[in-house]
Chains A and B, each alone.
Chain A
Amino acid sequence: MSITDGQTRPDISTVTPMLTAIEDNVTRVISGKPAVVRLAIITLLAEGHLLVEDVPGVGKTLLARALARSIDCTVSRVQFTPDLLPSDVTGITVYSPDTGRFTFRPGAVFANIVLGDEINRAGPKTQSSLLECMEERTVTIDGATHELARPFMVIATQNPIELEGTYPLPEAQRDRFLMRIEIGYPHQDDELEILRTHGRGNPLDELVPACDAATVANAIDRIREVAVTEALERYVIALCRATRAHPEVELGASPRASLALLRAARAEAAINGRDYVVPDDVKRLAPHVLAHRLILSPDSELAGHTAVAVIEDVVDGVPAPTD
């Protein structure tokens, strides 16, 4: 199948400027990490959720807040602790003696961007309440269903070290995040820059929103229409199937992973100013979208192999389409 002329094409001309504006904004706060910023924005545009996994102090929270600040939208932040209750996340119906009625008090998820700090510190019950919201984009409490905001994006952070007393996300749950990214330590020059900017006060305060929530929601709708040829769909499927067949993998990428990869690739295409996806989009995003969904075999984990390396191996082995 291929796309021929005459079909209505999505107007993605506004996406690139929007991206540039947000990127500029965020980069003012987090220097030297354009790729990470970009991935975060792609996640937003692909209606996905982001799992940031890195050591403390490299700017996980800062990234989330900068992103939220750059878009004129509501932001909530939940610090996950072992005593956090699910109702703290989703909200609760309370009796009001004044009116004599039950009223719904929304939880933290009722915001455009939800920042879940150290998600692995909360108990499984609380974790899963958040994860349910992520998937359903609604909250049902006492029989009443409440729509979540649009755009809606959860940025969860997780600390890969200091595992004592934590509840690491089960593999099945990780699948719900579109991407997992690592921020990594900044470059020497960037670190110097951080010292200087952050020393003068909180740079976040200086940020001015680059666009509003409605614009982003509109962009998301358009990105859904970005063209994908059959050859490319087959390529995405081939990549995911190849992870399942890979000898070092115990559990490969699910069909949900194929969907996620394609969604992300559409967003990637759009921010590159294209209304069609090319194999390069898919290849570039595959490690970020697929790696956290794999469970490697014990042998391979013992040998120190990483999921990212496996994905790179898979990408190298699957023929890319040229037409």
Chain B
Amino acid sequence: MNLQDGLRAGLVALLMTSLVPAFDRVFTSGAWRLPAATAVVAALGIAILVRAVGGGAIAAAIASTVGFLVLVPMLIGLTDRPTFPGMELLSGLGGRLSEGLAELQVTPAPAPLLGGIALLVVGGFWLITHVAHELLVRWRSTGPALIVVAGLWAAPLVVPMSVTSVRWHSVPFLAASALVLLLTVDVQLPRPRLMTSGAVMGTLAIVIAATAPGLLPGYQSDGWYGLGGRGGAQPRGYQPIVDVSQRLQLPEERDVLRVHASQRTYLRLAGLDSFDGFTWRLGPPGEGSYRPDPSTLYRATDLLPPEQVANATDPLFVDIEVLDLANIYVPVPYQPVQVLGPHRDEMVWSTDGGFLATWEIDDGRLDADGPQVGVTRGVSYRVQAERPAPTRQQLLDVAVDEQTLARWTELPREYPQLVALAEDIYADAGADNMVDRALALQDWFTGGAFTYDLDVPALRGDDALERFVIEDRVGYCEYFAASMAVMLRATGIPARVATGFLPGEMTAEADPANGQELAEYTVTTGDAHAWVEVLFPGFGWITFEPTPRSDGAQIQPRADDLTPLETERERQQRQAEAQPDEGATDPSTPEQDAPELDDPALQDPALPHEQQQEGGAPGESDRSPPWLAMVLAVAIALAGIVAWLRARQRDDHAGFAPAAQRILACQDRLLTTAIHCGLERRPSETILELAERWHRAGRVDASALRFARLAQAAAFGGIVEDGLADEAEELCEGAIRDLRSSVRARDRRLGQLRAPWEEAKARGRELLGV
């Protein structure tokens, strides 16, 4: 490895280091740094090693890929020790990748280092390091190398955040880039005029800058502009966003939790208290960034105060072992009373939203550093909970005071169609109190009019809820829960959406004889769920279940039992067994019949599917703003200018004989070198006079004079042959060498800075016709 290679490899490392502040900005802690740094060192080491043993670019790419597959799974905690990459590992990485894309989409910054995001960060650093090394060291292309790194640099900076300015996070990289340019730009450039490559790259950069935020996952709705016509998005703070759809749509179901529970229970992550017209979210409405009020936070080391006083409760406890889940919010049965286990030191309980989360806890300051990923693989804890379990009778007389009502029935706008529909449903069911109305609404949703389907467009647009409830009637839990909660609120019933997991599949029954007192449940990604909670003051938040899941894994409250323990599937089986005739004629579940029962709206092809497709390309939206056209127009105009400039540049020496063109190209190089050395030609000087001046000053020998004469012959109509061109090229190289060695290195560097300035001055003079 020669000195130049070493310097350039060092510069790659410097560039990557300069990205730290930009990435720090979007993470809640510095935990990402070690894996990323390891990735940079490893990728750089492999690239240098391959180059040192004379390997080509393809060999380097292969070596780097192998290294990536061996090392990265360890870095992101997928394996404990280096393993030979096999299918299992690949599918694991694939799973992490899709998880990461989902996390990017649903986790507002600053985010903790979730498993998928870790893979994206480590992989990104590895890839960019490798490519930057190949470009800067192997191919000596400073500009493209910088552009590649700039891509990574920009990734965290475009994440919209209200709290921090981008400026200071971006400066280190800019400084490092300037240094790299200074130290590595090749002096023997063609004449410093407007570089075609520069113009092309500039155009590309603008196009990418304009389109990438819309195309990258995670920026779709939070870019600098609204793609779906939502306008500039406000950062939503740290939210346990309902990433249910993402989990449900993973290509392969993964086991997430193993639960030993005294009874079957939903495992809740958080209650989403406010609706912004688009999604249900934590915290009071209208706040840009959610930070829980420290006064509502309690350490999990003590007994947890109830979120709402619940008078009729049912005690239960669960042991939860996390198999594969990285999260801040801890899945717990509602509402928890006590957490046991070594990890409870890092957990806080919020009585606002009713969630247990892992938090960076400083002594005496609960809200010190914000959330961190506490729930990871291998964590296990025990939760004691008191589940609100009132009877319908108890709830009939519950009255809600004004303040509570105002807090929990707030909506961003009126929903007259939904209110009218809800009133009809209440009237049909004869429901005149909160609990009956909630049940009526739940039963209406699950009663067969709706179809459960994961493959549906996202809830987009102002009237998305109405469309879902009145026209489409196809969706999954998020749709049902959001719609029902809005309808409840619109009709004056305090409600919210809760997210979490279904109880899961029972994998082992309780066997008290063998000391196994708790039944074992396995919760998978497919059990991710959202449901509705209705507040009955004095009895707490009661769960309702509007989603007619096709697998029947949900637990649906009934008027006779508001807190049943059996799933819908079990209930139907029980009913089928109790009434064999009916069961024989109707072997399938009502949910599976649903499509046949439903109205034709289901098959309505008029539904503009693409328009609502999540992650849809900008052009697909009918509200697509004109900026796309503008970007295209600018890009085309720039491309035209570039083409014109290119044509002009080509014309520069056109019309000369080929040999003359070669000599004139030499002359250009010599003049450029002169500018870089601070020895530029005075405008009125001929090339011969210039050579004579250098000669007098002892910078070049007489061969430069000979070259000057040849160049003049080429330029002014002398006959030059290839032999002369060969000689001229040789003479020119000699002159360039002499010239450079005649100038102190420091002046050369300064000359490089001066060159663009001189060029600009010359252009200005040209323009002004001076």
> Mask for A259-279, Cβ within 8 A of B = 1, else 0?
000000000000000111111
Known contacts A2-B656, A280-B688; is-contact A319 B717 (Cβ 8 Å): no
Identity of the chain A residue whose Cβ is nearest the Cβ of B689 in the assembled complex: A280
Give the residue of B664, B687, B716 whose beta carbon is less than 8 angstroms from that of A277: B716
A1 CA / B719 CA spacing, docked (Å): 15
A280 touches B686 (CB 8 A): yes
Q: Which of A13-21, A31-39, A50-58, A310-318 is the contact stretch?
A: A310-318
Query: Taking the nearest CB of chain B, how far is it from the CB of A57, in angstroms?
Result: 36
Residue A188 lies at the interface, judged by CB distance under 8 Å to chain B: no
The listed residue with most B CB atoms (<10 A of its CB), out of A3, A280, A321, A323, is: A323
| Cβ contacts under 8 Å, A323 to chain B | 652-653, 656, 664, 667, 711, 714-715
Q: Is the CB of B684 within 8 A of A322?
A: no
The answer on a CB contact under 8 Å between A5 and B657 is: yes
Count of A interface residues, CB-CB < 8 Å: 28
Number of CB contacts from chain A to chain B under 8 A? 77
A231 at the interface (CB under 8 A from B): yes
Q: In the assembled complex, how far is the CB of residue A263 from the closest CB belonging to chain B, in whole angstroms?
A: 16
Q: Mark B640-666, 1 if CB is under 8 A from A, else 0.
A: 000000000000110111001000100
A321: which B residues are within 8 A, CB to CB?
Answer: 715
Measured between beta carbons, the chain A residues less than 8 angstroms from B681 are 322
> Which of B664, B684, B714, B719 contacts A320, CB < 8 Å?
B684
Pairwise interchain contact B719-A2, C-beta atoms closer than 8 A: no
Check B718 for interface membership: any CB of A closer than 8 A: yes
B717 adjacent to A279 (CB under 8 Å): no
Contacts of B684 in A (CB 8 A): 315-320
Q: Are A278's CB and B657's CB within 8 A? A: no
By beta carbon, the residue of chain A nearest B671 is A322
Is A232 interfacial (CB-CB < 8 Å)? yes
Interchain CA distance A317-B671 in the complex, whole Å: 19
Please determine whether B717 and A3 come into contact, CB atoms closer than 8 angstroms.
Answer: yes
A320 contacts B685, C-beta separation under 8 Å:
yes
Interface residues, chain B, CB within 8 Å of chain A?
Answer: 652-653, 655-657, 660, 664, 667, 671, 681, 683-689, 711-719
Least CB distance, B770 to chain A, in whole angstroms: 9
User: Closest Cβ of chain B: how far from A224's Cβ, in Å?
Assistant: 15
CA distance A80 to B684 in the complex (A): 42
The contact sample of 28 A-B pairs, CB cut-off 8 A, is A3-B716, A3-B717, A3-B718, A4-B655, A4-B656, A5-B657, A227-B716, A227-B717, A227-B718, A229-B716, A231-B716, A232-B716, A275-B718, A275-B719, A276-B716, A276-B718, A277-B717, A278-B688, A279-B686, A280-B686, A283-B689, A316-B684, A317-B684, A320-B685, A320-B686, A323-B653, A323-B664, A323-B714
Name the distance in Å between B686's Cβ and chain A's nearest Cβ. 4
In the assembled complex, how far is the CB of residue A296 from the closest CB belonging to chain B, in whole angstroms? Answer: 21
Query: Could you tell me if B717 and A2 are in contact, using CB atoms closer than 8 angstroms?
Result: yes
Known: A227-B717, A321-B715. 14 other contacts (CB 8 A): A2-B715, A9-B719, A232-B716, A274-B713, A275-B719, A276-B713, A276-B716, A280-B686, A280-B688, A280-B689, A319-B684, A320-B685, A322-B686, A322-B687
Contacts known (A2-B655, A322-B686); A229 close to B719, Cβ less than 8 A: no
Hey, which chain B residues are within 8 Å of A232, CB to CB?
A: 716
Task: Please give the distance in Å from A267's CB to the nearest CB on chain B.
Answer: 16
Q: Which residues on the A side are within 8 Å of B689 (C-beta)?
A: 280, 283, 320
**A228 is an interface residue with CB less than 8 A from chain B:** yes
A2 to B664 Cα, complex, angstroms: 13
B683 — which chain A residues lie within 8 A by C-beta? 319-320
- By a CB distance below 8 angstroms, the chain A residues around B664 are 323
Residues of chain B lying within 8 A (CB to CB) of residue A274: 713, 718
Say whether, besides A319-B683, A323-B653, A323-B667, A5 and B719 are in contact (CB < 8 Å).
Answer: yes
**Min C-beta distance of A317 to chain B, whole Å:** 6
- Tell me, rounded to whole Å, the shortest Cβ–Cβ distance linking B721 to chain A: 9
B547–chain A nearest beta-carbon distance, Å: 78
Instruction: Point out residues on A near B: beta carbons under 8 Å.
Output: 1-5, 9, 227-229, 231-232, 274-280, 283, 315-323
Counting from the closest, the 3 A-B pairs by CB-CB distance are A3-B717, A227-B717, A319-B683
Distance, CA A3 to CA B657, complexed state (A): 8
In the complex, A276→B689 CA distance in Å?
A: 17
Contacts of A2 in B (CB 8 A): 655-656, 660, 715, 717
Q: Tell whether, in the assembled complex, residue A322 and residue B656 are in contact, meaning their CB atoms are under 8 Å apart.
A: no
Decide: A283 near B686, CB < 8 A? Known: A4-B657, A323-B664.
yes
B656 contacts A278, C-beta separation under 8 Å: no
Residues from chain B with a CB closer than 8 A to the CB of A322 are 667, 671, 681, 686-687, 711, 715
Contact B655 A1 (CB under 8 A): yes
Decide: A229 near B686, CB < 8 A? Known: A2-B656, A4-B657, A323-B667: no
Output the least CB separation between B680 and chain A (Å).
12
How many Å lie between the Cα of A279 and that of B689 in the bound state? 10
Q: Which residue of A lies closest to B721 (CB)?
A: A5
CA A322 to CA B688, docked complex, whole Å = 9
On chain A, the residues within 8 Å of B713 by CB distance are 274, 276
- Closest residue on chain A to residue B720 by CB atoms: A5
* A53, B711: Cα distance in complex, Å: 38
**In the complex, what distance in Å separates the CA atom of A274 from the CA atom of B667?**
20
Determine the chain A residues whose CB is within 8 A of the CB of B660 once the complex forms: 2
B657 adjacent to A229 (CB under 8 Å): no
Q: Give the interface centre of B656, B713, B718 by most chain A CB atoms within 10 Å.
A: B718
Cβ-defined contact, A229 with B715, below 8 A = yes
Of the candidates B667, B685, B686, the one whose C-beta lies within 8 Å of that of A278 is B686
* C-alpha gap A250/B681 in the complex (Å): 31
A232 and B718 CA atoms in complex are apart in Å by 13
Residue numbers in A under 8 Å from B715 (CB-CB): 2, 229, 231, 321-323
Q: Bound complex: CA of A232 vs CA of B685, how far in Å?
A: 14
A9–B720 CA distance with the chains assembled, in angstroms: 13
Complex Cα distance, B716 from A287, in Å, reads: 22
Which residues of chain A come closer than 8 Å to B688, judged between CB atoms?
278, 280
Interface centre among B660, B664, B689, B719 (most CB of A within 10 A): B719
**Bound-complex Cα distance A5 to B656 (A):** 9
Which of A228, A277, A280, A316 has the largest number of chain B CB atoms within 10 A? A280
Inside 8 A of A278's CB, which chain B residues have their CB?
686, 688, 712, 716
For B686, list chain A residues within 8 Å (CB).
Answer: 278-280, 283, 320, 322
For the complex, give the distance between the alpha carbons of A276 and B657 in Å: 15
CA distance A280 to B687 in the complex (A): 9
Whole-angstrom distance between the alpha carbons of A320 and B708 in the complex? Answer: 14
B contact residues around A283 at 8 Å (CB) = 686, 689
Please indicate the chain B residues that have their CB under 8 angstroms from the CB of A318 in the complex. Answer: 684
- Cα distance A315–B684 when bound, in Å? 7
Q: With the chains together, A150 CA to B717 CA distance in Å?
A: 29
Give CA–CA (A65, B712) in the complex, Å.
Answer: 37
Query: Closest residue of chain B to A232, judged by CB?
Result: B716
